[in-house]
Amino acid sequence: MKIDRAEARRIADLAHLEFDDAGLDRMAAEMTKILTYIDQLREVDVEGFEERERHVTPMREDEPRPSVDREVALNAREQVARNAPAWRDGFFVVPKVIGGD
């Protein structure tokens, strides 16, 4: 499978990754090499083997319950704030997404 710059750009946009042109060309070349290796999977006879066979994650009952203990939860807000890149009045701050220019 050959990945060119335009295809690499399409994937980078889907993945929310920023690359310059040189970086994108390098990535396209590396992906081509790796996908060429992976293409050997095309030769395998997979008749009778299904994609989803037994790879289903079991779900718990949809009942609300605490996932951490009370003491941790009480201190968590302060630590969440400390880990946040921008935080004000109990909210994460991001650049304006509506209106403006």
Binding footprint of another protein on the chain (CB under 8 A): 3, 8, 10-12, 14-19, 27, 30-31, 33-35, 37-38, 40-42, 44, 46, 49-55, 57-60, 67-68, 72, 75-76, 79-80, 82-86, 92, 94-95, 97
Q: Which is nearer to another protein, 18 or 89 (CB)?
A: 18
Cα 35 to Cα 13: distance, rounded to the nearest angstrom: 19
C-alpha dihedral sign at 69, 75, 77, 83? negative
- Minimum CB separation from another protein for residue 42, in Å? 7
CB atoms within 10 A of CB 19: 15
